[in-house]
Structure 1
Amino acid sequence: MQAQLETLSGLERRLNIVLPMADIDAQVVERLKRVARTAKIQGFRPGKAPIKIVEQSYGAQVREEVLGEQVQQNFYRAVAEQKLRVAGYPRFESVSNEDNADLFKFAATFEVYPEVKVGELAGKEIEKPVTPVTDAEVDKTIDILRKQRTRFTRVERAAADGDRVIIDFKGTVDGVAFEGGSAENFPFVIGQGQMLADFENGVKGMKEDESRDVNVSFPAEYHSKELAGKDAVFTITVKNVAEAQLPEVDAEFAKQLGIEDGDVEKMRAEIRKNIEREVKRRLSARTKENVMQALLDVTEIDLPKALVELEVGRLMDQARRDLEARGIKAKDMPLPAELFAKQAERRVALGLILAEVVKANELDAKPEQIEAMIKEFAESYEQPEDVLKWYYESPDRLEGPTSMVLEDNVVQFVLGKAKVSEKDLPFEELMGNQA
């Protein structure tokens, strides 16, 4: 084998490889002899057909197989000799060889992994958010838990904010009923934004068995193009008005949350523990994101197009699965590759940078770190020991925790190098819609 390496541009390379045709012919003959032992050819018993007859039937297929194997084997042999790290998949093509039939020539075009040099972190400022958990956060969480267990009791007064109403309604535009504009025994809670503001305001003040016509203006940006910007009239009949009743914070409430003896203080302590665990997780995620951005900011890196394309494909597949999980047929949703390009580039860049940081600073995940990570996962389950056992039943299941430990190791390493500033982050902002 002869191999010549060319640098085309940036990370792109081409290997021109030459093989003796005699070696290939010899392998073809040897392969045909093996085929002949079991070949079923009309007019001959299995394994008794002359090699020339076997070649007529199987020669082209066997030669193609041998050439494919030789291309693969000799490419990776040349790659190893040249000490190249191939990124993605190579593109093979045969090279015209009319001048010498004794040689087989082919070329492989591919990209190599870039050399990664992480920039200087000492002067880089990284923000580390801090969110204390106090009694106020425990109280807010208890309020959320109470609202999740709201019961509604029928009342005879007029409907107001916070009440659940059950209604019949029929809507028309210019006197014509429209699709989706009518329903019977439809429940909703006033003030939660489930219905348009005009509709909700029209229901307020109505009592059970009362009917009225309510004028509703659909906003110009309404999701239904047929209704956007139009005025409608809804005939509404209230069939039930119910007042919200939140449970008291007592022993019964504590038992509902899993405190067997109903001790309210135990319940508060358990809730605080859960909040602290979630706050820690979210703060860690934000800090990690800031660290990753810092690494991207200080490191210039050429990205192999092949790796970015592979990552785009993975992101598109994930998006389709997410759509399918929501009941949306992914084939009906166009997913242009360019929508995922920036995210793919970021993920590929971070993958290369993190690998270099881990390698250069010996930040590999230690067994005790992986075990500690799994135990932390398991704390939120009723049977933590079962969770721990499940992870260790298969090495593949340890890949997730191992990856997370590696990232945490990188985060701690970078924070130790950079200029870190703590910043108070309000609990509501950290928790988002859950607060």
Structure 2
Amino acid sequence: MKSAVETLNPTRVRLTVEVPFEELKDSLDAAYKKINQQVTVKGFRKGKIPARVIDQRFGRGAVLEEAVNDALPKLYTEAVNEADVNPLGQPEVDITELKDGELLAFTAEVDIRPAIEIPDYSGIEVEVDAIEVTDEDVEKSVQQLRERFASTNPVERPAAEGDVVTIDLEAKVDGEVLPDGVASGVSYTIGSGELLDGIDEAVTGLEAGGEATFTSKLKGGSAEGKDAEVTVKVTAVAARELPELDDEFAQMASEFDTLDELKADSRKRLENMKQFDQATQAQERVLEKFLELAEIPVPEKLLEEEVNTRKHNLEHHQLGQMGLTLEKYLEFQGKTVEEFEAETKEQAVKGIKTQFLLDELVSKEKLNVEQEELTEHLMRRAASSGMSPDQFAQAVVQGGQVPMLVGEVARGKALAVVVEAAKVVDTNGNVVDLSDEDEEQAGETAEAAADEAAEDK
């Protein structure tokens, strides 16, 4: 077999392959054997039909077609290995010549991973938010904990903001009660904004037994988006009572003995959360700078496939589970179709470039993934998916996704190398040391940017 490679552009090549006919012998034999098992010829036992009879009855062309289809994948793989290129996706194959007994020639055009020069990232500088936890932040955190331990007690007075009312609802459109527009015994906290627009004003001031009618645009159901006349009847009013903020509350709501200890723990937890957010922000901004420094061509066909994949996943998985159409989603987001298309393309470009660049850095720095690192990553992915580690591992193996997980860990290690080399300062001018940050967190940042682009891209 002879092959040659022609570079069409930085992300696409054409392979030209010529194969002497004798190299097709195994595929020809396999073709005759396959046809033998599929056809019946009077006077011959099944599977024992001579090749010349198959040629006469079914045509030599059918045999050649079967043989070429069998041989092409292997011949293409040999040509790719010989040319030392990294193909992306499926090739476009064209049989240019097929002379029976003499020669098979074909071309294969395919997208490839572009050659990327890793830029000098040692001079990258980014600014991140400073870690600041105020007394107000701590009070808000403790107040949220206090809210969780609130109790409700029935009261005989008009309902006010913060009260929990039990209500019956009836919605009409054009004077007709909707089939799904009646609900009884609904518990609602006034001011929470969790139900219909206008309901807070309608129930405020009503006592048990009182009712009011208001107009509201329905957010779901059979008449979604239409204005409805809603009648609400209050059947009970209850006041929410918060526990006193004292040592007794601290003992009830936590493992601490005093309120001061509880507040100190809240402050520490908030600091840890802000530190995690700061590290994530640093990784995202360093990655942005790193991408800006590199020249990374993106294959057009690969980009088209990635954009289509993202659209499909959004429409048929994410939005489908929420019962939303793409049109309704864009309406809620306040975006036009053109804006959505441009945004999706921009995200796809960034995802592809992120994978290309970090994969190249993995190769350059010879970053290996240890079994322990892969196991830890698998455990975290399992936890986020809601599956047990054993179930997740089984699904990964059966789906052939182990290389994908290895790639995720490796890219996280690559991004961690860049982040460690960068200068990161906060808004107060203080240098932020991220050398001890978890590579797993960097991996999550890298994967968020790549947005789960397929491993074989």
Report the TM-score, using the length of structure 1 for normalisation: 0.74
Q: Is the Cα–Cα contact under 8 Å of residues 118 and 295 in structure 1 kept in the other structure?
A: no
Structure 1, residues 169-212: CA drift from partner, whole Å, max 9, x if none?
Answer: 44557x72464665433332111123456432232111111234
Cα 1:148–1:177 change in 2 (3 A) is farther
For the structure 1 residues 65 and 49, does the alpha-carbon distance in structure 2 shift closer, same or farther, using more than 3 Å as the test?
A: closer
Aligned to 2:175: 176
Matches within 5 A, 1:250-265: 259=255
Please tell me whether the aligned partners of residues 124 and 419 of structure 1 are also in contact (alpha carbons under 8 angstroms).
yes
Deviation readout 1:270-293 (Å, 9 max, x if unpaired): 766655554443333222211111
Is it true that 1:79 corresponds to 2:80 in the alignment?
yes
Offset, 1:351: 0.6
Give the whole-Å Cα distance in 1 for the aligned partners of 2:378 and 2:132.
25
Task: Give, in whole Å, the separation in 2 of the partners of 1:263 and 1:398.
Answer: 49
In the TM superposition, what whole-angstrom CA distance separates every residue of 1:199-249 from its partner, at most 9, and x where no partner exists? 3223211111123445x4769xxx95432xxxx764443211111123456
Aligned AA (2:282) = T
Structure 2 matches for 1:146-157, cutoff 5 A?
Answer: 146-157=146-157
User: Given the superposition, is the C-alpha separation of residues 340 and 122 from structure 1 closer, same or farther in structure 2, using an over 3 Å criterion?
Assistant: same
CA 1:254–1:369: 2 relative to 1, 3 Å? farther
Question: CA–CA distance in 1 between the matches of 2:244 and 2:417?
Answer: 48
1:262-281 equivalences in 2 (<5 Å): 275=270, 277-281=272-276
Matched, 1:206 2:220: no
- The 1:343/1:244 distance shift into structure 2, 3 A limit, reads same
Alpha carbons of 1:267 and 1:53: their partners in 2 closer, same or farther (altered >3 Å)? farther
The DSSP-based 3-state class of the residue aligned with 2:427 is strand
For residues 323 and 270 of structure 2, the distance between their equivalents in structure 1, rounded to whole angstroms, comes to 32
**Secondary structure, counterpart of 1:342 in structure 2:** helix
Matched, 1:45 2:49: no
**CA pair 113-212 structure 1, distance change in 2 beyond 3 A:** closer
Distance across 1 between alignment mates of 2:304 and 2:210: 61
**Are 2:2 and 1:6 aligned?**
no
Q: Distance in 2 between matches of 1:96 and 1:373?
A: 50
Instruction: State the alpha-carbon separation in 1 of the partners of residues 411 and 138 from structure 2.
Output: 30
Cα contact 2:164–2:238 (8 A) shared by 1: yes
- Corresponding residue for residue 452 of structure 2: none
Could you say what secondary structure the match of 1:14 adopts? strand
In the other structure, the counterpart of 2:71 is 70
Q: For residues 169 and 394 of structure 1, what CA distance do their matches in structure 2 show?
A: 46
Is the counterpart of residue 357 in structure 1 residue 352 in structure 2?
A: no
Match of 2:142 in 1: 142
User: Whole-Å Cα distance in 2 between the matches of residues 253 and 303 of structure 1?
Assistant: 57
1:414 aligns with 2:418: yes
Query: Partners in 1 of 2:403 and 2:4 — Cα distance?
Result: 39
Larger RCO (alpha carbons 8 Å, 6+ apart): 1
CA RMSD of aligned residues (A): 4.5
Tell me the CA shift for residue 136 of structure 1.
5.6
1:288-303 matches, cutoff 5 A: 288-303=283-298
C-alpha distance in 1, partners of 2:123/2:96?
52
Partner of 1:30: 29
Q: Distance in 2 between matches of 1:274 and 1:238?
A: 41
**Cα–Cα, structure 1 residues 46 and 274, in superposed 2: closer, same or farther, change >3 Å?**
farther
**Structure 1 unmatched ranges of 5 or more:** 382-386, 426-435
TM-score (ref. length: structure 2) = 0.71
- Residues 46 and 248 (structure 1), Cα distance of their counterparts in 2 relative to 1, 3 Å cut: farther
Q: Does 1:15 align with 2:12?
A: no
Which ranges in structure 2 are unaligned for 5 or more consecutive residues? 331-336, 430-457
Number of residue equivalences: 406
SS of corresponding position for 1:349: helix
Which of residues 227, 233, 237 is equivalent to 1:241?
A: 237
